[in-house]
Amino acid sequence: MAQFKNKLILLFSFCSMFFIAQNKLNTNNQSDHANTVQNPKSKNVASANTQSVYLSSIRHDTCLNKKFSIVVYVFENYSMTIASSSLNVINNTYIPQKINYLNNLFKRICVSFEHCRTVVIPNWEYEKWKNATVDDVVYANFSTENTINLYLVSTTNYSKCQLDYSYKPDEPSSANPKNMVVSILDAPPGADLAHAFGHFFGLDHTHAEINGTPASPPPPIQSSGLAINSNEFVDGSNCALYGDGLCDTEADPYPANTSYNRNHVMCDYNGGVKDGKGDFYTPPLDNFMSFYTCRCRFTQQQYNKMAETIITKRMYLH
Ligand SMILES: [Zn+2]
Q: Which of 33, 57, 81 is the last residue of a domain?
A: 57
The answer to whether residue 226 is domain-embedded is yes
Let me know whether 19 and 114 are in one domain: no
Question: Is 250 within the bounds of a domain?
Answer: yes
Determine the Cα–Cα distance for residues 234 and 143; give it in Å rounded to an integer.
42
Percent of the chain with pLDDT over 90: 60
Q: Predicted confidence band at 270 (pLDDT cuts at 50, 70, 90)?
A: confident
Residue in 106, 70, 112 with CA at minimum distance from that of residue 91 = 70
CB-based burial label for 26 (10 Å; 0-12, 13-18, 19+): exposed
Q: Where are the alpha helices (DSSP H) in 156-221?
A: 191-200
Q: What is the CATH number of the domain that holds 85?
A: 3.40.390.10
Q: How far, in Å, from the CA of 235 to the mean position of ligand 1?
A: 24
Distance 196 CA to ligand 1 centre (A): 6
**What is the mean predicted confidence (pLDDT) over 24-32?**
34
Contacts of 198 (CB under 8 A, 6+ apart): 288, 289, 298, 302, 306
Task: Please indicate, yes or no, whether residues 171 and 30 belong to a single structural domain of this protein.
Answer: no
The answer to whether residues 187 and 263 belong to one domain is: no
CA of 305 to the centre of ligand 1 (A): 16
In sequence order, what E strands does 10-110 have? 66-75
Flag whether 9 is in a domain.
yes
Asked whether the predicted pLDDT for residue 171 surpasses 80, the reply is yes
Predicted local distance difference test score (pLDDT) of residue 83: 65
Clarify whether residues 169 and 309 are in a common domain: yes
Q: How many angstroms separate the alpha carbon of residue 197 from the centre of ligand 1?
A: 9
Please indicate, yes or no, whether residues 116 and 186 belong to a single structural domain of this protein.
yes
Asked if residue 295 is part of any domain, the answer here is no
Where residue 123 falls among pLDDT bands split at 50, 70, 90? confident
Reduced to 3 states, what is the DSSP secondary structure of residue 233?
Answer: coil
Residue 23 pLDDT: 33
Residues 226 and 271 in one domain: yes
**What is the predicted pLDDT for the residue at 224?**
84
Count CB neighbours of 259 within 10 A: 9
Q: How far is the CA of 232 from the centre of ligand 1 (A)?
A: 18
Q: Based on the domain organization, do 268 and 174 belong to the same domain?
A: no
How many angstroms is it from 155 CA to the middle of ligand 1? 17
Residues 32 and 166 in one domain: no
What is the end-to-end Cα distance of the chain in Å, rounded?
15
| Mean pLDDT value of segment 216-231 | 92
Residue 151: count other Cβ atoms within 10 Å of its Cβ: 28
State the average pLDDT over residues 11-28: 36
195-205: per-residue pLDDT in tens? 999 999 999 99
Sign of the Cα torsion 243, 249, 251, 257 reads negative
- Residue 107 inside a domain? The answer is yes
Distance CA 57, CA 254 (A): 28
The tens digit of pLDDT for each residue in 96-111 reads: 999 999 999 999 999 9
Could you tell me the pLDDT band of residue 220, with boundaries at 50, 70 and 90? very high
8 in a structural domain: yes
- What is the pLDDT at residue 24? 32
- The 10 Å Cβ neighbour count of residue 277 is 13
Instruction: Give yes or no for residue 206 having a pLDDT over 90.
Output: yes
Tell whether the model's pLDDT for residue 1 goes beyond 60.
Answer: no
Of 98-112, 124-138, 302-316, give the lowest mean pLDDT range. Answer: 124-138
User: Of 57, 74, 92, which marks where a domain is finished?
Assistant: 57
User: Does residue 238 lie within any of the structural domains?
Assistant: yes
pLDDT tens for each residue of 144-163: 999 999 999 988 888 889 89
Question: So what's the pLDDT on residue 261?
Answer: 76
CA dihedral 233, 237, 241, 247 (to 10 degrees): 90
Separation between Cα atoms, residue 283 and residue 294, nearest integer Å:
11
What pairs with residue 152 in β-bridges?
183
Q: Calculate mean pLDDT across residues 14-29.
A: 35
pTM for this predicted structure: 0.82
At 73, the pLDDT band (50, 70, 90 cuts) reads very high
Q: Do 111 and 167 fall within a single domain? A: yes
Which pLDDT band holds residue 293 (cuts at 50, 70, 90)? confident
Is residue 70, in this structure, part of any structural domain at all?
yes
The boundaries of the domain holding residue 46 are: 2-57
From the list 150, 154, 76, 163, the residue with the least C-alpha distance to 120 is: 76
Same domain, 139 and 87: yes
Q: What is the number of domains present in the chain?
A: 3
Mean pLDDT of the chain: 83
Q: Report the amino acid identity of residue 146.
A: N
Q: Are 88 and 180 part of one and the same domain?
A: yes
Distance, CA 157 to ligand 1 centroid (Å)?
15
Instruction: Give the pLDDT score at 259.
Output: 81
Whether residue 41 is predicted with pLDDT greater than 80 in this model: the reply is no
Residues 196 and 226 in one domain: no
Residue that is last in its domain, among 35, 57, 79: 57
Torsion angle (degrees, nearest 10) of CA 154, 157, 158, 164: 40
